[in-house]
Structure 1
Amino acid sequence: MTDEQLIAAARDAARHSYSPYSGFAVGAALVFADGSVVTGTNIENASYGLALCAETVAVSKAMADGVRGGLVAVAVTGPGTEPITPCGRCRQVLNELAQLGGTDPDILCVGPDAVTRLRLSDLLPYAFGPASLA
């Protein structure tokens, strides 16, 4: 899958956002080594703290479908003027999935005119994960 296709999947996911309070529609797309793609979008709640981020929704969908490894890349897109990065919670959630497969996925932080490519380990250095409990 090309970066452009992954970004398009994230943008398409953002169209399904439920963000009536912030108006900040976010989409995420995860691609795995086998070529499968799982998407998610943010879901807000009137009790603001119960909102779910797009990345967390995508990881939850993947896990619910039995996907436990092989995370290669993630694209995250939103309506801002700059490339959007996963929040701290989402970095941790992505790290859990990545560590299960021993990967350090590329994170494509997508803005309207630019894409910043980082490794998950750059966004979450010294991460705590499953290996930390051994």
Structure 2
Amino acid sequence: MKTISIKERLPFSAREVWEVISDVERCDWVPAVENIKLDGDVRSFTMEGVGEVQEKIIKKDTESMVLQYSAIKTPSQVEHHLATISITEENEGCEFEWVSEISPDQFSEAIRSGMGISFQGLIKVLSS
């Protein structure tokens, strides 16, 4: 199993970032996704270059600003996926941390790339 992480200090308030991240149907910050359908705690979408994906929202805690989800259906043979995004208020901004566990290891570079592209998309959305 591989663990991939992004940890950055952002010049936006934690609430601003949480507003985007916590809306689990929002996809304007994820460049490879055009539409997300939510059914209970499962979100479904088509990701460009990947295919149909379903993710289970495990935790969405507004007070602690933590979102945790797991891919439960993918076109590839993913055995384990668990992602956690946490946002912490700091002076003049916030700390953004996104950690993903993935198995088998062969999918780690695709996850790393997708996280990086999405993180840049988040910055773009927050900056506009």
Q: Which one has the bigger helix percentage?
A: 1
| Structure showing the higher strand proportion among its residues | 2
Same fold, judged at TM 0.5 (above): no
State TM-score, norm by structure 2: 0.33
- The TM-score normalised by the length of structure 1 is 0.32
